[in-house]
Structure 1
Amino acid sequence: MSDDTPIEFKHFIRIIGRGQRAGRTLTQEEACQAMTMLAKGEVTAEQKGAFLMLLRVREETAEELAGFTQAFRALTQEGLSDLTVDLDMGCYAGKRRHLPWFVLAVLLLVQNGKRIFLHGTHEPDSKRLYLKEVLPKLGFDLAKNTQQAQQALDKFGFAYMDLLDINPALDEVIQLREFFGLRSCANTLARMLNPSQAQHSIQGIFHRLIDIKHRECAALLQDENVLCFRGDGGEIEFNPLRDVTLHINRVTEQSTIDVENTLDSYVTKPKELDVLQLIDVWTDKTQDTYGEKALLGTLANMLVLLDKLDWKTAYEQAQDMWNNRVKEWPVTLPTT
């Protein structure tokens, strides 16, 4: 195939779909080309489904994920990279068993001078609690564009934007779950997107070994500072009941940190997830042992990434930040 001959998308399907002997994985460059064509709508619906589901069955390599991420980063809403942000957090799993205690970790970082960009989406069929539902109930506005994100950062210290407003092409692929009945690699790519191009990015995953791919992908992309771990239900929240390994990449230097659980006793999940309980714990109206351990562990992970601390020191600093927090809820709650 000559350099001036347009590549047909079936070329990429053929590469990954010919079987164990004749097929192969995509190079990072090929992956970027393929996903760019898919994201720009230059493929048929049949080709899109075949490509994504072949990858789903075989599982993507770090090189493929890096190329796919490059493709979608190039399609991200302009202007977000101009925001002054310390930490990027992709929140795509939603919460099912417990409240999103990591929100309180975000508020603690904000009280200590950090600026955070949050992004996520909503999958209606998953029956999970997503940030776009949670934050308005807590009194925080959602941003729809770069200007509103800047306003939220200046007002709250953090901003949340839905993926639909950040990168519609990527969100469209995620929403295909409704038709496939399965998630595609798009959920992984959204976590790696870092639309604000923050110097630090923290990512939560669910399945074993995917954290290693995140770390290796970050190295291929030469992302400055990335931390990935198996969070509660796949979210960016520390599960205090489980040992976990933190996977870190700093440009191309990869490392791991093994962390033991911080809560030994079994915790019964709540019968319902009442978002306002987050406020009650923050203001000391009530206590929740699991919630406090979850937010402290999450904050410790953030501090490991941001300040290059060992985990014990980071956890101690997280505890100090929690003990010394301003306990007044920072915004007025909605009346309806």
Structure 2
Amino acid sequence: MTNTEVKFKDFIRIIGRGQRAGRTLTQSEAKQAMSMLINGEATPEQQGAFLMLLRVREETAEELAGFTEAFRGFNSESLQLLSIDLDMGCYAGKRRHLPWFLLAAMLLGQNGKRVFLHGTHEPDSKRLYLKEVLPQLGFDICESSEQARTRINSFGFAYMDLKSINPQLDRIVQLRDLFGLRSCANTLARLLNPSNATHSLQGIFHRKVDEKHQETAALLEDKNTLCFRGEGGELEFNPLRDVTFFINRGTAKSTVDIPNTLDTYVTKPKELDPLCLVSVWTGQTKDDYAEHALLGTLASMLILVDKLDWEAAYAKASRMWEARVKAWPVTLPSTKSDAVTFDTSGKHYVH
């Protein structure tokens, strides 16, 4: 099927003809189909049919690789000049615990690495997103690569919203408001690596998706990625359960089984107050769960970035935490009138 012959409905026909007559897309077909969708060569009805057919059947690694290639073509070139060490796509949101992974990112930045975080906000999912948390902690949401460069030079990390990075992909993510379901766009955002960082950390929710991420990264020939089932689907180590890290070094794939680090059962708090992140960082509050979560997350980063084994990475993470500069690096907002405490008892949607 050549570019001059193909119409978007042809791709819908390929994936929608049923179990016997239909088939999956090749990587090149997937790239072409998603490129057409991005460029407005599909009607809204065709876009919905295509995305929801994929949702029901689930995407293959080849399809995800092709879709990712299409969206990477729209990444800002200026972001790729930031010389980022670690890319972190934060798209799940939290509903049981605070985003302790943020402290791990801060600590890695405090130790000389350049960390780029990106994410979005889905009102329908009723989760706590980093975009809501950071302003309460005194950190700006960057809207340009120059703002990100300034924040990274100052603090070692920066956060940008997907809408400012790749509005084409964010538009697909926000279609959840119409569908009532997530599409593959959330997976693609995790795989996006918009800054072309040398390493990419990815957290997922469902079983077996980590394996698919690993296979997709191999097809894309991404040089250094680590994917695991994180707490609530976020890229945060859950100290209460065993987990497997799926690691890519180019086309070389490996797995590492990690045991839980905390045996004491932890009841989720009724509310999540972002300012607790500050009190744990400064040492005003002692929280075993928080420390185990951030140390495990930091250790996963060190396995990826410094190529350490788990024991060495966890030991180094512990030393870095003990040696941290405990002063909060920015001035907190002078008023709490805009502060938001997140109710964990409500209904929250899985991924």
Corresponding residue for residue 251 of structure 2: 252
How much has 1:6 moved relative to structure 2? 3.8
Residue 174 in structure 1 maps to residue 173 in structure 2 = yes
- In 1, distance between residues paired with 2:4 and 2:328? 60
Residue 104 in structure 1 maps to residue 82 in structure 2 = no
Corresponding residue for residue 312 of structure 2: 313
Residue 85 in structure 1 maps to residue 78 in structure 2 = no
- In 2, distance between residues paired with 1:189 and 1:101? 23
Calculate the TM-score normalised by the size of structure 1: 0.98
Worse-matched range after superposition: 143-152 or 207-216:
143-152
Residue 126 in structure 1 maps to residue 125 in structure 2 = yes
3-state SS, counterpart of residue 25 of structure 1: coil
Residue 267 in structure 1 maps to residue 266 in structure 2 = yes
What is the one-letter code of the residue matched to 2:283?
D
- In 1, distance between residues paired with 2:229 and 2:170? 23
Residue 47 in structure 1 maps to residue 46 in structure 2 = yes
1:189-268 aligned at under 5 Å gives the runs 189-268=188-267
- In 1, distance between residues paired with 2:3 and 2:262? 60
What is the one-letter code of the residue matched to 1:163?
L
Corresponding residue for residue 7 of structure 1: 6
Corresponding residue for residue 296 of structure 2: 297
Deviation by residue 1:60-119 (Cα, 9 ceiling, x = unmatched): 000000000000000122311111111000000011000000011011101110110000
| Structure 1 runs (4+) greater than 2 angstroms displaced | 3-6
3-state SS, counterpart of residue 30 of structure 1: helix
What is the one-letter code of the residue matched to 1:234?
G
Deviation by residue 1:153-191 (Cα, 9 ceiling, x = unmatched): 112211110000100110010111111111000000000
> What count of residue pairs does the alignment treat as equivalent?
335
What is the one-letter code of the residue matched to 2:262?
L
Deviation by residue 1:211-257 (Cα, 9 ceiling, x = unmatched): 00100000000001000000001000000011100000111000000
3-state SS, counterpart of residue 211 of structure 2: helix
Contact 2:199–2:223 (CA<8 Å) still a contact in 1? yes
Corresponding residue for residue 139 of structure 1: 138
- In 2, distance between residues paired with 1:205 and 1:118? 16
- Measured on the aligned residues, the alpha-carbon RMSD in Å equals 0.9
Contact 2:110–2:155 (CA<8 Å) still a contact in 1? no
Contact 2:173–2:186 (CA<8 Å) still a contact in 1? yes
Unaligned runs of 5+ in 2: 336-351
Unaligned runs of 5+ in 1: none
What is the one-letter code of the residue matched to 2:90?
C
Calculate the TM-score normalised by the size of structure 2: 0.94
Corresponding residue for residue 38 of structure 1: 37
How much has 1:335 moved relative to structure 2? 1.2
What is the one-letter code of the residue matched to 1:314?
A
How much has 1:5 moved relative to structure 2? 2.4
What is the one-letter code of the residue matched to 1:189?
L
Contact 2:55–2:183 (CA<8 Å) still a contact in 1? yes
Worse-matched range after superposition: 38-47 or 96-105:
38-47
- In 1, distance between residues paired with 2:138 and 2:155? 10
3-state SS, counterpart of residue 84 of structure 2: coil
What is the one-letter code of the residue matched to 1:38?
L
How much has 1:308 moved relative to structure 2? 0.8
3-state SS, counterpart of residue 255 of structure 1: strand
- In 2, distance between residues paired with 1:9 and 1:259? 44
- In 1, distance between residues paired with 2:211 and 2:30? 19
3-state SS, counterpart of residue 116 of structure 2: strand
What is the one-letter code of the residue matched to 1:169?
Q
What is the one-letter code of the residue matched to 2:211?
I
% identity of equivalent residues: 71
Worse-matched range after superposition: 299-308 or 325-334:
325-334
Corresponding residue for residue 28 of structure 1: 27
- In 2, distance between residues paired with 1:74 and 1:334? 38
- In 2, distance between residues paired with 1:323 and 1:151? 27
3-state SS, counterpart of residue 97 of structure 1: coil
Report the CA distance shift for 1:130/1:4 in structure 2 as closer, same or farther (over 3 A).
closer
